Amino acid sequence: MPVLSSVSQTRLATCHPDIVAVCRELIKQYDFSVLCGHRTREEQNKAFSCGASRLQYPQSSHNKTPSHAVDLAPYPIDWNNLARFREMWHRFDALAQLMRGREEITSEFEWGGEWDTLKDFPHIEIKEK
């Protein structure tokens, strides 16, 4: 069974409890790395400047405390294999739906790979209601 590295655990710990709960279940069936949870002002503005984000601080879901967004990548990471990112998202979403049905979490999520503009395949965030 895969396990989260200490670096991934540290990053995940900056996220909303519902994100943490789904990721803790997902790692039991699918190996992935946590690339980013919360982003500071400097980190967010750097992501914006280099084109990795459409939003400046504090507009990103990564800037909330706890973070309402997480960036995940299937492990081992292959940036050219988008099918693995899609599979990871579908597994994450299926677990989230199951966990909502059992009232273990309340959040719904959206995936950056489905956005019309900047496709952000690692990005998963809580849908704002």
Rounded CA separation 86/27 (Å): 16
Residue-level pLDDT at 102: 98
Domains within the chain, CATH numbers bracketed: 6-126 (3.30.1380.10)
Residue-level pLDDT at 78: 98
Rounded to two decimals, what is the model's pTM? 0.97
Residue-level pLDDT at 31: 98
Please list the ranges in the chain whose pLDDT falls under 70: none
Write the pLDDT tens digit of every residue in 67-91.
999 999 999 999 999 999 999 999 9
Residue-level pLDDT at 8: 98
Please give the C-alpha separations between residue 50 and each of 44, 53, 69, 87, 123, in angstroms, as whole numbers.
Answer: 10, 8, 19, 27, 16
Residue-level pLDDT at 5: 98
Residue-level pLDDT at 129: 76
State the DSSP string of 10-40.
Answer: HHHTTB-HHHHHHHHHHTTTS-EEEEES---
